[in-house]
Structure 1
Amino acid sequence: MRIVIAEDSVLLLDGLSRLLVAEGHEVTGYTTADQLVAAFGAETELPDIVVTDVRMPPTHTDEGLRAAVHLRSLHKKLPILVLSQYVEQRYARELFAGDVRGLGYVLKDRVADVDEFLDALSRVASGGTVIDPDVVAQILARTRRSGLETLTPRERDVLGLMAEGRSNAAIAERLVVGLPAVEKHVTSILTKLGLAQDADDHRRVLAVLRWLEHEPGDQS
Structure 2
Amino acid sequence: MRIVLADDSMLLREGLELLLRESGHDIVATAGDGPSYVAAALEFRPDLSIVDVRMPPSHTDEGLRAAVEVRRQWPEAAILVLSQYVERSYADELTASGTAALGYLLKDRVSDLDGFLAAVESVAGGGTVLDPFVVAQLLAARPKADPVHELTAREREVLAMMAEGLSNAAIAARLVVTEGAVEKHVSRIFTKLDLNADEETNRRVRAVLAFLKS
CA distance in 2, matches of 1:205, 1:164: 11
Match of 2:169 in 1: 169
Deviations 1:123-156 (A, max 9, x none): 0111111122111111233432223222212111
* TM-score normalised by structure 1 residue count: 0.89
Pairs aligned (count): 212
Displacement of 1:120 after TM fit?
0.2
Summarize the alignment of residues 1-220 of structure 1 with structure 2, pairs less than 5 Å apart. 1-27=1-27, 28-40=29-41, 43=43, 45-143=44-142, 144-214=144-214
Displacement of 1:200 after TM fit?
4.5
CA distance in 2, matches of 1:25, 1:147: 40
Using a 3 Å threshold, how does the CA distance of structure 1 residues 133 and 113 change in structure 2: closer, same or farther? same
Using a 3 Å threshold, how does the CA distance of structure 1 residues 38 and 142 change in structure 2: closer, same or farther? closer
CA distance in 2, matches of 1:168, 1:210: 19
193-202 or 59-68: bigger deviation: 193-202
Q: Is contact 2:51–2:82 with CA below 8 Å preserved after alignment?
A: yes
Deviations 1:38-81 (A, max 9, x none): 2245x3x4211111011110111111111111111222222111
* TM-score normalised by structure 2 residue count: 0.91
Q: Is contact 2:83–2:104 with CA below 8 Å preserved after alignment?
A: yes
Using a 3 Å threshold, how does the CA distance of structure 1 residues 40 and 212 change in structure 2: closer, same or farther? closer
Q: Is contact 1:84–1:108 with CA below 8 Å preserved after alignment?
A: yes
Using a 3 Å threshold, how does the CA distance of structure 1 residues 197 and 175 change in structure 2: closer, same or farther? farther
Q: Is contact 2:75–2:99 with CA below 8 Å preserved after alignment?
A: no
| Structure 2 spans left out of the alignment, 5+ residues | none
Q: Is contact 2:155–2:185 with CA below 8 Å preserved after alignment?
A: yes
CA distance in 2, matches of 1:148, 1:79: 26
Match of 1:217 in 2: none
Structure 1 stretches of 4+ with a deviation exceeding 6 A read none
CA distance in 1, matches of 2:49, 2:23: 16
Q: Secondary structure at the match of 1:52?
A: strand
Q: Give % identity.
A: 56
Displacement of 1:11 after TM fit?
1.2
Give, as a single letter, the amino acid of the residue that structure 2 aligns with 1:189: I
CA distance in 1, matches of 2:113, 2:16: 10
